[in-house]
Amino acid sequence: MLRSFLTARAVAFAGLFAVLAFGPPAAAKDDDCILDNCADRLPPKPQAEKAQPAPEARTDAARSDGGFRSGAPAKDFDFYVLALSWSPGFCDSVEGSHDQCEPGKGLGFVVHGLWPQYERGFPSDCAGPRSPSRIALERAEGLFPDARLARYEWRKHGTCSGKSPSDYFGDVARAREAVTIPSLFVRPTREQSFTPIDVERAFYDANPRLRPGMMAVSCRRNVFEGVRICLSKDLREFRACPDVVQHGCRQREITAPAPL
């Protein structure tokens, strides 16, 4: 009997020690889960409302795609690109008939266009008169090689300037007057070969306010086609244009055919 009493006391003491050491056993719950086994029973987390960009932010995002925006609002651009074509190179690579490519024209650099530009990409075909008047086209004479190109450039690029056709062609004249053509390209009598850097340096020397990062050379394969020079929106100064420069000619050496 004494042995039974001592055994019972030992068992009781062991139970008391377990309670003191580890605490009482946790009660089982019906909704206990293990990781994903009951994920469908957990209350859903509140979804944060996706922030909508402000209208200006959406415009900037559209500008950053590096392409073009057809039908963009007029005046909504950052700077201008004056595109000057080297006619012999253009005529060497273009398909079809163009007035500027007729033998005997002897054209060197001509205005291809004055393009409103974003920091990345450009607008095109904005709202506005689709065809410039005869009076407006008179302001384009002597700038573009022919009236057909002047009309096309107005429709695709000029409409995005926010100006009338007459005022836009006036700006084309101002931009062209701001650029001095290097002597290297004044009535050459034979084909010339050089690097794109050679062309840029010639323009920097002829235009002291024009600096690296403000222009690009354009070519098709290894044929020199022209230059693209960046100007501020008010056309008062040259300005940097990294995206335009990035898309410039990457040939090691290019050839400039002589005027026809």
Q: Is residue 76 part of a domain?
A: yes
Report yes or no: 248 and 217 within 8 Å, Cβ to Cβ: yes
Q: Is residue 100 part of a domain?
A: yes
Which of 197, 237, 199, 191 shows the shortest CA–CA distance to 80? 237
Q: Which two tokens stand for residue 50?
A: 């996706």
Per-residue pLDDT of the chain (260 residues; tens, 9 = 90+): 434 444 444 444 444 444 444 454 444 444 433 333 333 444 444 444 444 444 333 333 334 344 555 555 667 899 999 999 999 998 887 655 577 888 888 899 999 999 999 999 999 999 888 889 999 999 999 999 999 999 999 999 999 999 999 999 999 999 999 999 999 999 898 999 999 999 999 999 999 999 999 999 999 999 999 999 999 999 999 999 999 999 999 999 999 999 97
Domain span including residue 85 = 56-256
Question: Is the dihedral angle over the CA atoms 240, 246, 252, 256 positive or is it negative?
Answer: negative
Q: Is residue 148 part of a domain?
A: yes
The domain total for the chain is 1
Q: Is residue 39 part of a domain?
A: no
CATH of the domain at 218: 3.90.730.10
Per the DSSP assignment, residues forming a β-bridge with 123 are 69
Helices (H) and strands (E) in the chain, counts: 8, 8
Q: Is residue 251 part of a domain?
A: yes
Residues labelled as active-site residues: 112, 153, 157
Rounded Cα distance between 173 and 77, Å, is 20
Report yes or no: 217 and 227 within 8 Å, Cβ to Cβ: yes
